[in-house]
Structure 1
């Protein structure tokens, strides 16, 4: 650019860049443009804001930007300017916001999604939205599919059901329903082993009760193995009531070192038609061997590997060492008595003997059986004895006379019994099953 052009620029008042296409604004435009606001001077570093006068009332301001509300709002006092710049966001603190902070003077106006000013929708503690039900859950199966009662199995209801070719079905009788409930209790959950002892004086039907109750468990619990053990040292007859062909005994079972499977132990025990196995005692007087606690413990420990329920026919003499060993390992007990005064007195002495030796827990799991083995008992006497034993907290079951099991011989199961006799043995087994262990605690206290 020449000196003449520079002089012309100063004469015309050009102050823009020295580009060739730049044109300065006209005088009218320069006069219409507003003057820029003066930028306040930045306070020095050591500047301290003056303290406001507390005696002066705060100024009241009015707002007109919130609809018709033009009322006064509290003025906010100016805060002192800190010496360092305030961060854009406050640091995260466990006590944020401060508990002493004053609430805002006016709640925020309701926005979309809030039903009331200042009341949002926080979910309550522990609230979980209900999951929508499935289509299958909404189908009323019970209303759509009619339920049919089970056909009766005995009595006049069964006769009526048969004569009408099933058109008239009144369902089971209350007695059948009660029996089904008892059988369901016998089939209940059992964890670990369960050992039941049977005690009583000679001639009251102790061995018959042992074989009959064991047959009930074997029939109603086919998935479990049930064994009857003859622990009567006075030539017990349990083997002849279950399986006379059983040749094994305590000594053969305890001395056999090759009992690795159930097939091995199966050759040492007998069984009846109901599936009840039996470990017979010493039946032959020709070779009299005395059963001692060590042999009993070794033999029964091997049975525990393969059998869930054991019915132990104890000796009528309670002071024998074998009986003492049996009592240490029992979960429940059956005390058999005749329905006469002398038999009931012997049963009472047995229970007193157990209580005096600390077997109080075992007595709470004891069932008293009034066995009418000859059919000549008095009904009034049976009723009085039942009330006396029940008053001590024991369950009492009266077994009627049954000519089919009285003469002796093998008890093949409960099929050959009369319905009344079978029902009573089912009640005995159900009372014992009520104390089944529900947890697998093999070291539980037994007496």
Structure 2
């Protein structure tokens, strides 16, 4: 596995006396001016670079215990791409921990194909081994990508199709919790699906993915209403809506209007621009292939989730019953 370039190399981080990291402009005219004057003129970070630094700090914050974020959305809105991207950002910036993406979409989920198409294990291999103890045992049953994100596929690599049920999901999640700090769970499109309801029981954050069009936003709004109607206002307060332009045809006025509507409901809303790298359906690379503007948006989304994690009291999980 090829190691991803360290974030500090991209962000312009120097190591000062005592090993202290000092952030320098890493790009743009500020960086060029500093280089041209041999460091004599240093205007510091731009507002955008300061925001990125703050987001990275939030993502790297110390966490104790296990944390889970679910990703939901109707088919075709880029839900799986969002899940893989968030997981990759977490994994890249939290090298001290292990991060796993879990495919809990029973409708032929494709999460493994966006992270590691060669992943050979699935829920059934993971849960069938009663002697599973070490991380090496688990590692043999999950795939991984260059960012350091692991993935548990939803379908067996060979043989007849097997349908995931809540009991198998729960057993696999318990086993993964022994070795992974953060789990990013790609859910199905229906909130009423038994596996999705099992996932929702102990989430620390939720991402609702929507297209930047009225029909997609309507489906996302219904998801938020479903949470409220089922007494999950706690999770609703830890939910971020992602308006994902998956095909490049979004209308700016419509997108802004939809974002304002979600903001007015009290939701965090982040817009992700169209990125050709996310469209074809191959492996997602948040470093070499993803456009910088897209990466910045996923950095922002991941930071929002990390702040939800940090707000949970240490050692306390949210109630599992509704």
TM more than 0.5:
yes
Contact 2:208 2:239 in 1 (8 A): yes
The one of 242, 249, 269 equivalent to 2:122 is 249
Contact 1:213 1:429 in 2 (8 A): yes
Does residue 1:198 correspond to 2:32, yes or no? no
Structure 1 CA distance, aligned partners of 2:23 and 2:190?
Answer: 49
For 1:395-414, list aligned pairs within 5 A: 395-414=268-287
The one of 199, 203, 213 equivalent to 1:340 is 213
Aligned-pair distance for 1:418?
1.4
Structure 2 CA distance, aligned partners of 1:158 and 1:323?
Answer: 47
Structure 2 CA distance, aligned partners of 1:235 and 1:281?
Answer: 8
The one of 301, 308, 315 equivalent to 1:435 is 308
Contact 1:149 1:169 in 2 (8 A): no
Aligned to 2:113: 240
Contact 1:399 1:424 in 2 (8 A): yes
Aligned-pair distance for 1:377?
0.6
SS of match in other structure, 1:287: coil
Structure 1 CA distance, aligned partners of 2:158 and 2:116?
Answer: 19
Q: Which of the two has higher C-alpha Rg?
A: 1
Q: Extract unaligned runs of 5+ from structure 2.
A: 1-20
Q: Which deviations, in whole Å up to 9, do the C-alpha atoms of 1:225-253 show, x marking residues without a partner?
A: 00000000011000000001101000110
Contact 1:161 1:167 in 2 (8 A): yes
The one of 191, 213, 223 equivalent to 1:350 is 223
Instruction: Compare the two structures and name the one with the higher helix fraction.
Output: 2
The one of 420, 423, 427 equivalent to 2:293 is 420
Aligned to 1:309: 182
Aligned to 2:155: 282
Q: Which deviations, in whole Å up to 9, do the C-alpha atoms of 1:414-441 show, x marking residues without a partner?
A: 3421111111001101111112245432
Aligned-pair distance for 1:300?
0.8
Structure 1 CA distance, aligned partners of 2:155 and 2:22?
Answer: 51
Instruction: Compare the two structures and name the one with the higher strand fraction.
Output: 2
Q: Which deviations, in whole Å up to 9, do the C-alpha atoms of 1:172-214 show, x marking residues without a partner?
A: 2121111101111111121211100000000000000000000
Does residue 1:166 correspond to 2:49, yes or no? no
Structure 1 CA distance, aligned partners of 2:272 and 2:33?
Answer: 30
Aligned to 2:11: none
SS of match in other structure, 1:436: helix
Does residue 1:211 correspond to 2:115, yes or no? no
Does residue 1:187 correspond to 2:83, yes or no? no
Structure 1 CA distance, aligned partners of 2:273 and 2:156?
Answer: 29
Contact 1:339 1:382 in 2 (8 A): yes
SS of match in other structure, 2:203: coil
Contact 1:369 1:397 in 2 (8 A): yes
Q: Extract unaligned runs of 5+ from structure 1.
A: 1-147
Q: Which deviations, in whole Å up to 9, do the C-alpha atoms of 1:373-418 show, x marking residues without a partner?
A: 1111111111110111011111000000111222120013334211
Aligned to 1:53: none
Between 1:410-419 and 1:168-177, the stretch displaced more is 410-419
The one of 21, 24, 27 equivalent to 1:151 is 24
Instruction: Return the TM-score normalized by structure 1.
Output: 0.65
Over 6 Å off, 4+ runs = none
Structure 1 CA distance, aligned partners of 2:129 and 2:202?
Answer: 23
